[in-house]
Structure 1
């Protein structure tokens, strides 16, 4: 069984000091780095500095890995995590992946090497490589925003929120609908929001719905929406995120199309900006800060060996503003 840096050094054919330098982020040649990484991966080695810290002193740092920092949802979730951890005498260590999956996996292992007590992952997807990493680490892992049957998770109620928003859209007389979603690799946003909306649509006859895919970026929605309007002429655009909806509003404005007089638009998220723009955006609001607080509470319970729910659902609310017109009233 691999227990020491010396064991890793011997298997990699390098000096013990070289392995120590690599583990502490020092300068190591690319070829040597690959040798050490290969041995660590094959053996599942976690540095003794981490194990020793668990015996000598209970760590109070919670690693938090995020896909992007320029996101309202991420920033609010981080605020919630940080505030709650501080109350519980824990600290947060943040690592950003810029939505690069390989970097996300690297950060998981890196966090373990930095003596964290647990890892909170704001995930966009969970792959077999993620599960392999979680299984190798002897520390608690908690997901926020995505769920897995074997991993502790705090998720937004995407399916029910989309179902309720779908019923709201239908209650306002809309029957020709364009749903603008994201990749189904993202189960929460790409699958659950679409499926919840579909369930609502199935309850009403005479609907014509087309489903489109875009990214999370406002700019791509601005580019994509005009062709959807030209080709399909929907009465409403149901957007899987507020950013997509903001892009759709901008695209409509550039085409001289009035919201909601000519086309209605909805989103998901409840970002602060959706309240101050004109028209205000009708959206399914998620409580990101509160979800972060719950995630922090659950993580500390896991670190202390206390029982906690495997899956925790965060609340939501449909916020009705000016971006949706009532076609029944118009008729």
Structure 2
């Protein structure tokens, strides 16, 4: 049949009541004889029940909810690629909602996905608070976080403290003493707190005379550019930015002010964005494998769906890429 069949059509062909077909699709009680009649018609006609009927029958939607803070970033694209590789292999589809870097909207998105009946949720979170914990405890589906960590949720995320430490050790090895860390709000615990904490540890460990001045911005190119006057007021020999995006915004400021990188100031970031390889000068960066992180996150969620135990972890796939924007400090 080329015309789309309805439950009533199946009932007519099987010689049973529409309610009987509905109970069959909803996994309710149907006599063995009537179930065989309905099954025979479904197989012969190629009838495919709609999404909601299949969910009632199988108790699965084959949908995974994904909450992202934004889509216009390199990391978001790579994470989604990693998620999709695993979800597609296992026959799942993704339903993506954007929180726009707003914690309350992130919570609302999680609630919406739960109500829509997804099988599980991945949250690339901007922070995890008591409201998140309350929502998770009320949900009856697996939820895993990336981007942030918390001892009461399942998560997998970049090891921001170790990343910061590696960068701090590198900048110290170049004999820089007066450094600015251009970071973000502590509301973002991973990037705003842990990454800076690690940098301080690495930079000061064998460099007790070193001084770090913290300047707060956000992740936008515009605000990084606007932070330039404050940054240079500390007269640093090096500036380390919490993300490559921030570093590129500041680099534009340096170009306009005729501040030469790295001759006057060394500059570095975090992320390993490809655009950093073609900037002038090319950007030194602590690169993360976001695609790998996305793959591991999706794998953990699917394990949770199979009621298999999972452990939270910090991902250590990172690599310091040394390019033209850093050099030994002037003596």
Which interval holds the TM-score relative to the shorter structure? Answer: 0.7 to 0.9
- Structure 2: which 5+ runs fail to align? 1-50
Matched residues in 2 for 1:123 and 1:157: separation? Answer: 15
Match of residue 264, structure 1, among 256, 263, 266? 266
Counterpart in the other structure of 2:225:
222
Matched residues in 2 for 1:97 and 1:201: separation? Answer: 34
Matched residues in 2 for 1:314 and 1:54: separation? Answer: 41
Matched residues in 1 for 2:313 and 2:158: separation? Answer: 11
Deviation at 1:276, TM superposition (A): 1.3
Contact 1:63 1:119 in 2 (8 A): yes
SS in 1 for 2:213: strand
Matched residues in 2 for 1:219 and 1:155: separation? Answer: 27
Find out whether 1:298 has 2:291 as its counterpart.
Answer: no
Counterpart in the other structure of 1:174:
176
Counterpart in the other structure of 1:111:
113
- Structure 1: which 5+ runs fail to align? 1-48
Counterpart in the other structure of 2:278:
276
Deviation at 1:54, TM superposition (A): 6.5
Q: Normalising to structure 1: TM-score of the pair?
A: 0.81
Shifted more, 308-317 versus 240-249: the winner is 308-317
Counterpart in the other structure of 2:247:
245
Matched residues in 1 for 2:108 and 2:323: separation? Answer: 42
Matched residues in 2 for 1:273 and 1:243: separation? Answer: 9
Deviation at 1:55, TM superposition (A): 6.3
Deviation at 1:314, TM superposition (A): 4.2
SS in 2 for 1:150: coil
RMSD between aligned residues: 1.8
Per-residue Cα deviation, 1:284-306 (whole angstroms, up to 9, x for no partner)? 10111110010010000001111
**Largest Rg, 1 or 2:** 2
Match of residue 143, structure 2, among 134, 141, 144? 141
Per-residue Cα deviation, 1:38-72 (whole angstroms, up to 9, x for no partner)? xxxxxxxxxxx99x946633231110001111111
